[in-house]
């Protein structure tokens, strides 16, 4: 027979429920903590580091530009004493050395490949060294994630030009395109602001960052399937500012180097893919531009590549074609625009083939 008073029984039940809730919360927190640790271990095993992208950079207050940290050793990424990804750059430049500089963003920096030796700027330099064996070839990987053409112009003026490059290769499009499309979407009320904002938790937790990113991609893909809240834009009207900025960068680069080349931009998304394949290929692009459809992205990339071709003709820059020579699949792209080792090798073939076949480039090497 239970002789406890009703008030005592209520207190006892409340205490039991409190203990259960505390235990459940503790177990949930422990599970989340274990998942966070496991994810960081997996990332360290795959990429050699569990740090966030922003931990690889610092603000150069002298020029007001975000630049890679010098002498960085972070998993598969290594920078030299000047903060460029790659080997040390000899200064002053030794007589007879042909120096190639690459200007771009994350698709030139190549964080996704298995090491510095598989970033396509390194592979291009190796290709040219083999093609012109009697010359000494070195390179400057001036790519920095997040850069636009304006960023690369400042990067050229303050960090790359003093290194006396003989050849400059420019590879830009997606960051400028994303910024333009986000601005248009914000003006039309499809998103709250022109810049992509991540949560505080996303910056602190890899688990939350991954969950948030995948959820945003899933939502964007579902809306793209149904064409809900999509940005309606005539792709032929895009890229006016990109054209002006690209001409400015090419002209400035031509003041520093004997040869300036511009490469059309490669993306995983292709017109011949099925609807499902296009959604997969456009996944990371839709994360940054959730108001777009694969069809709209295809038209936008095509317009930006048209502008690259037109600027090459107008400025006399060497045009590097073949953006679709890199297969649009998971073997060559880790997401919508970034290369795997195989994709980086294919990109290097594009660039080095065009350079090796160029008469002005041959003249630099004395051929």
Q: What is the pLDDT of residue 67?
A: 97
Of 17-31, 48-62, 78-92, minimum mean pLDDT range: 17-31
Q: What is the pLDDT of residues 88-144, one digit of tens each?
A: 999 999 999 999 999 999 999 999 999 999 999 999 999 999 999 999 999 999 999
Q: What is the pLDDT of residues 167-209, one digit of tens each?
A: 999 999 999 999 999 999 999 998 876 555 555 455 555 554 5
Rounded mean pLDDT of 6-17?
61
The DSSP element (H or E) to which 271 belongs, if any, is none
Rounded to whole angstroms, the Cα distance separating 220 from 231 reads: 12
The more confidently predicted of residues 87 and 193 is 87
Q: Is the pLDDT score of 36 beyond 50? A: no
Which superfamily does CATH assign the domain made up of 53-189+236-272+297-364 to? SGNH hydrolase (3.40.50.1110)
Q: Is the pLDDT score of 347 beyond 90? A: yes
Rounded to whole angstroms, the Cα distance separating 259 from 292 reads: 37
- The conformation of residue 141, written as its DSSP 8-state character, comes to E
Rounded mean pLDDT of 137-166?
98
The more confidently predicted of residues 7 and 24 is 24
Rounded mean pLDDT of 148-169?
98
Q: Which two three-digit tokens encode residue 14?
A: 């409340």
Q: What is the pLDDT of residue 18?
A: 73
Average pLDDT, the chain: 86
Rounded to whole angstroms, the Cα distance separating 126 from 140 reads: 13
Q: Which of 180, 347, 168 is nearest to 266 (CA)?
A: 347
Q: What is the pLDDT of residue 33?
A: 55
Q: Is the distance from CB of 269 to CB of 177 less than 8 angstroms?
A: no
Q: Is the pLDDT score of 301 beyond 80? A: yes
Rounded to whole angstroms, the Cα distance separating 173 from 165 reads: 22
Q: What is the pLDDT of residue 75?
A: 86
Computed on alpha carbons and rounded to an integer, the radius of gyration of the chain in Å comes to: 25
The more confidently predicted of residues 173 and 11 is 173
Q: What is the pLDDT of residues 208-260, one digit of tens each?
A: 455 555 555 555 455 554 455 578 888 889 999 999 999 999 999 999 999 99
With H, G, I as helix, E, B as strand and everything else as coil, classify residue 122.
helix
CA distances, 345 to each of 62, 77, 110, 121 (Å): 36, 17, 11, 10
Assign residue 230 a region: left if phi > 0, alpha if psi is -120 to 50, beta otherwise?
beta
Pairs from 56-60 (Cβ < 8 Å, separation ≥ 24): 57/144, 57/145, 60/158
Q: Which two three-digit tokens encode residue 314?
A: 């107008």
Phi, psi of 46 (to 5 degrees): -80, -40
Q: What is the pLDDT of residues 302-328, one digit of tens each?
A: 999 999 999 999 999 999 999 999 999
């Amino acid at each position: 027979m239970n002789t406890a008073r009703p008030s005592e029984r209520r207190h006892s039940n409340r205490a039991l429920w409190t203990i259960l809730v505390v235990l459940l919360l503790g177990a949930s927190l422990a599970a989340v903590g274990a998942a966070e640790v496991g994810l960081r271990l997996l990332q360290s095993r795959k990429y050699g580091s569990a740090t966030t992208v922003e931990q690889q950079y610092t603000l150069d207050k002298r020029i007001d530009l975000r630049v890679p940290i010098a002498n960085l050793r972070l998993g598969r990424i290594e920078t030299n004493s000047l903060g460029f990804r790659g080997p040390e750059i000899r200064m002053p430049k030794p007589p007879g050395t042909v120096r190639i500089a690459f200007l771009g963003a994350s698709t030139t920096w190549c964080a996704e490949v298995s090491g510095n030796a598989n970033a396509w700027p390194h592979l291009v330099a190796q290709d040219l060294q083999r093609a012109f064996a009697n010359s000494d070839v070195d390179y400057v990987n001036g790519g920095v994630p997040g850069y636009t053409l304006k960023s690369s112009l400042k990067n050229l003026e303050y960090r790359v030009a003093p290194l006396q490059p003989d050849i400059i290769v420019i590879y830009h499009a997606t960051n400028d395109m994303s910024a333009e499309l986000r601005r248009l979407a914000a003006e039309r009320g499809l998103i709250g602001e022109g810049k992509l904002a991540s949560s505080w938790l996303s910056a602190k937790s890899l688990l939350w960052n991954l969950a948030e990113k995948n959820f945003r991609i899933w939502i964007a893909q579902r809306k793209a399937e149904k064409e809900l809240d999509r940005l309606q834009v005539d792709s032929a009207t895009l890229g006016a500012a990109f054209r002006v900025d690209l001409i400015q960068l090419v002209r400035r680069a031509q003041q520093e180097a004997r040869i300036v080349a511009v490469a059309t931009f490669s993306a995983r998304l292709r017109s011949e893919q099925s609807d499902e394949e296009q959604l997969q290929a456009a996944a990371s692009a839709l994360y940054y531009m959730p108001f777009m459809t694969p069809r709209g992205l295809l038209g936008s990339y095509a317009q930006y590549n048209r502008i690259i071709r037109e600027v090459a003709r107008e400025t006399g820059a060497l045009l590097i074609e073949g953006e679709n020579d890199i297969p649009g699949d998971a073997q060559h792209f880790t997401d919508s625009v970034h290369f795997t080792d195989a994709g980086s090798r294919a990109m290097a073939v594009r660039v080095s083939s065009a350079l090796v076949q160029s008469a002005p480039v041959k003249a630099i090497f004395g051929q």
